[in-house]
Structures are given as structure tokens and as C-alpha cells.
Amino acid sequence: MHARELLELALLAATHAPALIEGNRRIPERCVERYWIFSKVRLDRWAWTLKGDIKFGRLVRGTIEEIFAGEVLARVWMAVLAAYDRRRCTDEAEPVARSVVGGHVEARHRALQILVDDSRIDARAIVELNRLLRHADRLTELLVEQVEFPDSLSAQHAAGLFQSGFRTPLAAGSPNPDLNARIAAGVVGCFPDEVFQRSDWPFPLWFAHVMSTAEEAQSMIDELAVGECW
């Protein structure tokens, strides 16, 4: 799953947030757990890739793009789970999402530090990555507002971004497509099945892959749990 598709998933989550927030269905714990575990694994991979005196190349650029795009989904999902908890007067799902966002903040800081301090990076790459960051931050604002104030004009504008096509300068391939798909499976699994079975939303091609990833992701979590027992 490419980093660009994480942006599409953020749009998807914000658009269908009312079905999760206002519905009577309880979010499956396994899906929240899946989201948290694979987000943490990806954060560790990012930290390892950007550690020390690194050489800026395709892998590092792809990692930075993934960090900037991934933060959009992380912040939007935190807003959705916060609203879900607030409606039920609970404090169960939102702390998990907030923990993930905290890791994203650290990863973002490291990525920006590299762009500022490393004089070996091509100026054009810096400009493109800065543009991506600004676009991602703006999209985050619109989508979070859509979740928190669904009737606002900004929210309506955000919903239209998917239809018109959100253009971002993502140049490199995503270094963690496997984890992106498993994180996405955790998000999608929190929604009621009927949201995606009956909706007229034009789901992208990667959606089917995410759905097929859910069972595999749970198997991996089970293996990790067995490993911890030993």
C-alpha cells in the first residue's frame, strides 16, 4: 500500500466517521490492537532508517514521504476515535490513537531535522518534500474539521477532495507497503461491515487488498503474542 493511498484512506475514514461515531456498534478490540501494533512497528522502521549519518536516497525520501502522508491518517483517526469515545463517555480507543500520533510527531521532527541539517540533499527534493508537508497539513485540518464539525463548509470541501483527486508530489516508492496495508486493515475493521457493502462510495483498487490483509495481520499479531510468552 503506497503512502498516497494512506491519504485516500484518511478521506475515507473522515467521510464515513458518522457511521462509527453515532452507531451502536462497539469497535472490535482486535482492530484497535492491530492498528496500534503495526503502527509501532512502522515507527520503529522509520527510526532505524533515519538513524545516524544517513545517505539521502530513494529509501530515505520514501520514508519521509511516508511519514508526512501517514501522519494525516494518524491524526484523522485520532479525531474519529476521540469522537467515538466522547459520545460513549469512555476512554478506551482514543488513547491508543494518541499514542500513535505521539510517535508520528517524533518521526516528523527527525525528518525535518534531516532536511534542514543535511547540506547534501538536493534543493529540488527539499522544495518538493516541503510542498508535500504543507499539502498534508492542510488536508489534515480539513478532514479533522469534517470529523468534528460535519456540517461545516470546510468539511464539505474536504469531502470533495477525493472526487477531484488530491494531488501530492510523492516521488518515491513507499518503503513499508506491508505495514501500511496492515495499519489500514485495522482502521477499516473498526467500521460496520454494511458501511462498505452498501455504500455508493467509489472505493479505490487498494481497498480490496486491505480487506484481504486483515486475516493475515491478525495471524501475525497472534504469533507476536506467542513469542512474548516465551
pLDDT, tens digit, 9 for 90 and up, residues 160-209? 555 554 566 677 778 999 999 999 989 988 988 777 665 555 555 556 66
Give residues with Cβ within 8 angstroms of 184, minimum separation 6.
1, 5, 6, 9, 206, 210, 213
> For the chain, how many structural domains are there in total?
1
How far does Cα 135 stand from its chain's mean position?
15
The DSSP symbol for 90 reads -
Average pLDDT (116-125) is 85
Give yes or no for a contact between 148 and 17, defined as CB atoms under 8 angstroms apart. Answer: no
Q: Does an H or E element contain 44, and which? A: helix 29-49
Domain extent for 89: 3-229
Cell 527539499: give the residue: 126
**Full-model pTM:** 0.84
CA distance 66 to 48: 14
| Of the ranges 11-25, 42-56, 98-112, the best mean pLDDT one | 98-112
Read off the pLDDT of residues 14-46 as tens digits, 9 standing for 90 and up: 988 998 998 888 899 999 999 999 999 999 999
CA torsion sign for 102, 105, 107, 110 is: negative
